[in-house]
Amino acid sequence: MTIDQAGDLTGADDAAAVQRLKQMIEASASVVVFTGAGISTESGIPDFRGPNGLWTRNQPIDFRDFSASSETRRESWRRKFRTEDTFAAAKPNQGHLAIAELVRRGKAGTVITQNIDGLHQASGIAEGRIIELHGSTHHAACLDCGQRHELAPIRRAFLADETLPLCEGCGGMVKTATISFGQAMPEREVARAEAASMACDLFLAIGSSLVVYPAAGLPLLAKQNGARLVILNRTATELDLHGDLVIHGEIGPILEAAVS
């Protein structure tokens, strides 16, 4: 289903939407792709707010609670290691591969993601072109000095007797390198994402409900600076009224067809 700029149903089918998206990509000199959890559900990773969403089943742990309570830190690591196999088994799907193809062609220079799953890297996009606004679940970091910590030794010690990891460098608390609610956004990544959003002429927002700020502000920043905005998501988003093209559909098949 496609909705035009005024928010009216056009009655156009998916094929027409794909055609329009294809034309917009072809006409663009510089695309920024922004992705949320929806792009990875076809890879077997549930999104957060859907019926099978991780948060529908478990209340997210707030950063202050993580910092304040060793029992909450244990619960956070239990959840991490419960879901680790799902993340480890996930492979990029046709949506990730279509985006990688846009990068390979030089159409898209930057991929901004809210995801923590590393699947854009796994699709072959160079690390330097990917901005992870919410960090990565594939390693951990010291909350005091920022030192990177690998997960394998943390996992061994935690699964043995729930030992909580501490930084060898400074003794600080170690946490998965993801951004929790209540935790400051990474300044460098946010600045890079804002700069890329302001410089593009086409912003593709894919698989995000666009409710989490400041990430959800990036599509508007792009629009204010003259870019056209495409929103591709199964369900309505907070920003649909601002879209030059809004497609409510399945990400993988639509993106693959638009990039083919």
Binding site for Zn ion (CB under 5 A): 142, 144-145, 147, 167, 169-170, 172
Shortest Å, Cβ 113 to ligand NAD: 8
Of the residues 21, 25, 42, 200, which one makes contact with ligand NAD according to CB under 6 A: 42
Q: How many CB atoms lie within 10 A of CB 219?
A: 26
- Give the span between the Cα atoms of 17 and 9, in whole angstroms: 12
134 is an active site residue: yes
SS3 113: strand
Beta pairing, strands 245-247 & 228-232: parallel
Contact segment (CB under 6 A) with ligand NAD among 6-14, 110-118, 187-195, 220-228 equals 110-118
- Give the span between the Cα atoms of 70 and 199, in whole angstroms: 44
Greatest Cα pair distance in the chain: 60
Q: How many CB atoms lie within 10 A of CB 105?
A: 11
147 binds, among ligand NAD, Zn ion, none (CB under 5 to 8 A by kind): Zn ion
Shortest Å, Cβ 35 to ligand NAD: 8
For residue 138, state whether it binds ligand NAD (rule: CB under 6 A): no
Size of the site for ligand NAD (CB under 6 A): 27
Of the residues 48, 84, 221, 257, which one makes contact with ligand NAD according to CB under 6 A: 48
Q: How many CB atoms lie within 10 A of CB 254?
A: 22
Contact 53, 59 (CB under 8 A): no
Judged by the rule CB under 6 A, the positions of this chain that interact with ligand NAD are: 36-38, 40-42, 45, 47-50, 53-54, 114-117, 134, 207-209, 212, 233-235, 250-251
